[in-house]
Structure 1
């Protein structure tokens, strides 16, 4: 089974590692615009061979794990090149624009729109880890537009990697993910920016930062190359979530100004319900 992974970073590399472990017959080919990434992935054993985009005509599986704007720019070329029996799936954090892009392609049936909710703040092939996807949710969009035999092929991969499947339409996916993922990253980036700008002496930050700050700002270490295109593609939903978030921050500030700490306590107490909602999520 020839598996071509386009984009050998954390996400693509982790797929490569787990597929090699789960499928004895899998041969992993890496495609990446960075020769350094390819060489590193080969050195680490993440991939078996380096490859180029034209070679995907011999692929049984193509996994596209590059920034969403780059995926949109190459998805039709990928579908043009693959065989009729090849499954192509991406792992991007936005789905509406991509699904629209492939809607009229002759090989739309070969494409499965997927989004595994997994990752870390690190990037590059050296960040790839085994079992990244085990126990994680994988959102699949427009599954009915993928050929049934290719659906089965994709679901077997997801199952062996230990993922839970959730089906959703692309519009709902992009709206919901703006709240639970995209807003979290913006909050982390802006918290980091605020502290850096306020604390000109960086030693003060490092000396006083506790685990709470470190965990809250962790996502600010994420790659702008990946996240700027996500915000661009999901602009309308991200702006809506920001408006609601800013309104809550403004309300909190106003309560502080009025010395209404009883209401602040109530707001925090009510929000503690999130512990129940997120129980069991690591």
Structure 2
């Protein structure tokens, strides 16, 4: 089986690792605009060879793991280059625009719009983790637009990697992911910014930072090159989530100013119900 990974980062590299483990007869080819990433991927044995678009007609699978702004430019070119029996799937964190740019492509039937909900705050080939997708949800959009035989090929692969499958339309995906992923990244970035600005005047602040701070600000280490295009593509939904989030922050601030500690207690106690939801979400391996 020939697998071409376009974008050898955390997700692309982790998929390469797991495919090699589950299908040892596979040959993994790497395509990346960053030559250092390709060399690193070779040295880490994530890929077997470097490749280019001219070789995509040899692919059984093409995995597209590049920033979403680049993806909307490259996906049509990738579909132009593949064979009729090739499965192309992306791993982008937005779906509406990605699905739209290929909706009228002659090889739309070869494309499967995916979003594996897995990852860490790290990036690049060295961030790749074996078993990253075990028990994680992979959201698939518009599966009915993919040829049935190719659907089966992809679903068999996802099952081997231990993924749970969930089907959504692109608009619903982008709305919900804004709340559970995109907003948390913004919160982390802005908390980090607030602390960095304060640290200029109070050097002791980082000596006092414990595990709570570390876990909350962890996502601020994520790649701006990846996340800026995500916020741009999902702007409408992200702005709406920010509006609601800022409203809640203002309400909390007002209760604190008013010494309404009973209200604060009730607010936090009500929010504790989130534990029931999070108990069903498997943690990423570190």
TM-score (norm 1): 0.99
**Partner residue in 2 for 1:67:** 67
- 1:117-132 to structure 2, matched below 5 A, reads 117-132=117-132
CA–CA separation in structure 1 for the residues paired with 2:2 and 2:203: 50
User: Does 2:238 align with 1:246?
Assistant: no
User: Is residue 117–residue 138 contact of structure 2 (8 Å, CA) maintained in 1?
Assistant: yes
Change (3 A) 1:88 1:202: farther
User: Does 2:163 align with 1:175?
Assistant: no
User: Is residue 16–residue 47 contact of structure 1 (8 Å, CA) maintained in 2?
Assistant: yes
Change (3 A) 1:274 1:53: same
How far 1:58 moved relative to its partner?
1.2
CA–CA separation in structure 2 for the residues paired with 1:83 and 1:57: 5
SS in 1 for 2:204: helix
CA–CA separation in structure 2 for the residues paired with 1:182 and 1:13: 22
How far 1:52 moved relative to its partner?
1.3
User: Does 2:107 align with 1:99?
Assistant: no
Structure 1 unaligned runs (5+)? none
How far 1:278 moved relative to its partner?
1.2
How far 1:24 moved relative to its partner?
2.3
User: Does 2:143 align with 1:153?
Assistant: no
CA–CA separation in structure 1 for the residues paired with 2:136 and 2:177: 15
CA–CA separation in structure 2 for the residues paired with 1:128 and 1:277: 27
User: Does 2:22 align with 1:22?
Assistant: yes
CA–CA separation in structure 1 for the residues paired with 2:28 and 2:182: 31
Query: C-alpha offsets along residues 209-246 of structure 1, whole Å, 9 cap, x if unaligned?
Result: 10000000000000001000000000000000000000
CA–CA separation in structure 1 for the residues paired with 2:197 and 2:238: 24
- 1:1-282 to structure 2, matched below 5 A, reads 1-200=1-200, 203-281=203-281, 282=283
SS in 1 for 2:200: coil
CA–CA separation in structure 2 for the residues paired with 1:204 and 1:237: 38
CA–CA separation in structure 2 for the residues paired with 1:195 and 1:144: 47
CA–CA separation in structure 2 for the residues paired with 1:95 and 1:26: 28
CA–CA separation in structure 2 for the residues paired with 1:223 and 1:233: 16
Query: C-alpha offsets along residues 186-222 of structure 1, whole Å, 9 cap, x if unaligned?
Result: 0000000011111215742321110000000000000
Aligned residues: 282
User: Is residue 196–residue 202 contact of structure 1 (8 Å, CA) maintained in 2?
Assistant: no
SS in 2 for 1:134: coil
Structure 2 unaligned runs (5+)? none
Query: C-alpha offsets along residues 134-175 of structure 1, whole Å, 9 cap, x if unaligned?
Result: 000000000000000100011011000000000000000000
TM-score (norm 2): 0.97
Task: Report runs of 4+ in structure 1 exceeding 6 Å deviation.
Answer: none
Change (3 A) 1:201 1:55: farther
User: Is residue 140–residue 165 contact of structure 1 (8 Å, CA) maintained in 2?
Assistant: yes
SS in 2 for 1:115: strand
SS in 1 for 2:28: strand
How far 1:93 moved relative to its partner?
0.3
SS in 1 for 2:139: strand
